[in-house]
């Protein structure tokens, strides 16, 4: 629980990839819901559609994906009376603050970001100037892929967020946000922007691919068999779990290195039941077959998703859009005031 929660502001965003999968739910969304119950902080949850367009999008698909994501968030337990849920693009101040930050952020900070380097496919010995000037490396890459961490900083600092729920793979981006806030404050001799802290859940949940348990469960995986979507019915779940990669070793043990597939299934069951890995493994002490493990995990997933799926069916698109519009109005009222303070600080007004 956050100390002095009444003075705290939480911000987090999720891309509109349509319906989330089990990895999204256990890795982030469950924590979002719990934060509503464990703190009195002001909470902003944004569907970050401006981030989504750093990759090609079909306009009609993107529009529907935003509604589907919002519906999923509400069904998982995001309460619009407790949290401000909105579409990023409906609050223009995000892009305006990004431009201000663009004007002070060194390019070198961005080119050192791990995800940019992975897109370039460069080795760490290359300088940022060499990487950016090498057209063989940057051909086909767009500016948005380099610059989106600055938009992330704007997303967070626009609401003067003090805390950000993140996984370990996002800590570098939060550090950049802190660096941008520090640079702005120092440059303009102000204390306008706080330095946000990370909220990393205990034992951050990393749910792995059902087909390649060495990789995270991901929407970008071309195989739908690699993930459990929150909309999957009992038969689909049973089929996917039965085909999940395990091994031929007899008995059920938790060994992420040597038995990653079995370990992943045990992790899923433990997280959904709110128990420890040790407690779950104890249940299978006399079990020799992976099939019995898969059958049990299937039952647990089906039961856990029932209330979420029932709520998804109940929610209609009109209501969901109204929640988003109301959220955008609330977010905009704060964003416009904070951006005006920023404009005043740098001399634009």
Query: What local confidence, expressed as pLDDT, does residue 73 receive?
Result: 97
Q: What are phi and psi of 53, to 5 degrees?
A: -80, 5
Q: What is the pTM of this model?
A: 0.89
The answer to whether 245 and 211 are in contact (CB under 8 A) is yes
The answer to whether 224 and 232 are in contact (CB under 8 A) is no
Q: Is 216 a catalytic residue?
A: yes
- Within a 13 Å sphere around the CA of 313, how many CA atoms are in the beta-carbon half? 9
According to DSSP, the β-strands at 42-47 and 197-199 are unpaired
Would you call 121 exposed, middle or buried from its count of C-beta atoms within 10 A (0-12, 13-18, 19+)? Answer: exposed
Query: What local confidence, expressed as pLDDT, does residue 203 receive?
Result: 57
Would you call 220 exposed, middle or buried from its count of C-beta atoms within 10 A (0-12, 13-18, 19+)? Answer: exposed
Token digits for 1? 């629980």
Q: Report the distance separating Cα 119 and Cα 122, nearest Å.
A: 8
Q: Report the distance separating Cα 16 and Cα 47, nearest Å.
A: 6
Query: What local confidence, expressed as pLDDT, does residue 219 receive?
Result: 87
* Positions of the chain with pLDDT under 70: 1-6, 114-140, 202-205
Query: What local confidence, expressed as pLDDT, does residue 112 receive?
Result: 84
One of 205, 216, 240, 294 is an active-site residue; which one? 216
Query: What local confidence, expressed as pLDDT, does residue 115 receive?
Result: 67
Q: Is 119 a catalytic residue?
A: yes
One of 90, 117, 119, 160 is an active-site residue; which one? 119
Q: Is 219 a catalytic residue?
A: yes
Query: What local confidence, expressed as pLDDT, does residue 237 receive?
Result: 98
Query: What local confidence, expressed as pLDDT, does residue 134 receive?
Result: 57
The answer to whether 78 and 308 are in contact (CB under 8 A) is no
Query: What local confidence, expressed as pLDDT, does residue 26 receive?
Result: 93
Query: What local confidence, expressed as pLDDT, does residue 123 receive?
Result: 45
85 has which bridge partners?
A: 45
CA end-to-end distance (rounded Å), the chain: 39
Token digits for 299? 């039952």
Total residues found in the chain within this entry: 349
One of 90, 142, 160, 219 is an active-site residue; which one? 219
- Residue range 287-313, pLDDT digits in tens: 989 999 999 999 999 999 999 999 999
One DSSP character per residue, 78-129 reads --TTTEEEEEGGG-THHHHHHHHHHTTS-HHHHHT-HHHHHHHT--TTS-HH
């Amino acid at each position: 629980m956050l100390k002095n929660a009444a003075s705290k502001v939480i911000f987090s965003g999720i891309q509109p990839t349509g319906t989330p999968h089990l990895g999204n739910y256990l890795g982030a969304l469950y924590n979002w819901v719990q934060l509503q119950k464990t703190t009195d902080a002001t909470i902003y949850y944004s569907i970050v559609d401006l981030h989504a367009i750093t990759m090609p999008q079909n306009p009609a698909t993107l529009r529907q994906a935003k509604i589907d994501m919002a519906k999923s968030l509400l069904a998982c337990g995001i309460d619009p009376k407790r949290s401000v849920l909105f579409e990023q693009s409906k609050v223009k101040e995000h892009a305006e603050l990004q431009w201000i930050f663009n004007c002070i952020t060194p390019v070198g900070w961005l080119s050192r970001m791990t995800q940019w380097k992975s897109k370039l496919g460069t080795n760490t010995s290359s300088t940022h100037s060499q990487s950016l000037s090498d057209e063989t490396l940057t051909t086909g890459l767009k500016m948005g892929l380099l610059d989106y961490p600055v938009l992330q900083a704007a997303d967070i600092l626009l609401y003067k967020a003090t805390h950000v729920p993140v996984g370990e793979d996002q800590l570098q981006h939060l550090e950049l946000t802190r660096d941008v806030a520090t640079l702005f404050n120092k440059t303009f001799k102000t204390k306008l922007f706080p330095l946000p802290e990370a909220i990393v859940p205990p034992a951050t949940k990393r749910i792995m691919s059902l087909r390649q348990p060495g990789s995270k469960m991901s929407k970008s995986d071309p195989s739908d068999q690699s993930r459990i979507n929150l909309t999957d019915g009992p038969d689909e779940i049973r089929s996917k779990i039965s085909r999940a990669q395990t091994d031929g070793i007899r008995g059920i043990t938790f060994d992420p290195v040597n038995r990653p597939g079995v370990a992943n299934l045990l992790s899923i069951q433990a997280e959904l039941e709110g128990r420890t890995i040790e407690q779950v493994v104890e249940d299978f002490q006399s079990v020799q077959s992976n099939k019995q493990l898969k059958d049990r995990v299937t039952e647990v997933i089906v039961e856990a998703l029932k209330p979420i799926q029932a709520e998804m069916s109940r929610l209609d698109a009109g209501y969901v859009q109204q929640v988003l519009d109301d959220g955008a109005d609330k977010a905009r009222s704060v964003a416009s005031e904070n951006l005006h303070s920023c404009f005043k600080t740098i001399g634009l007004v």
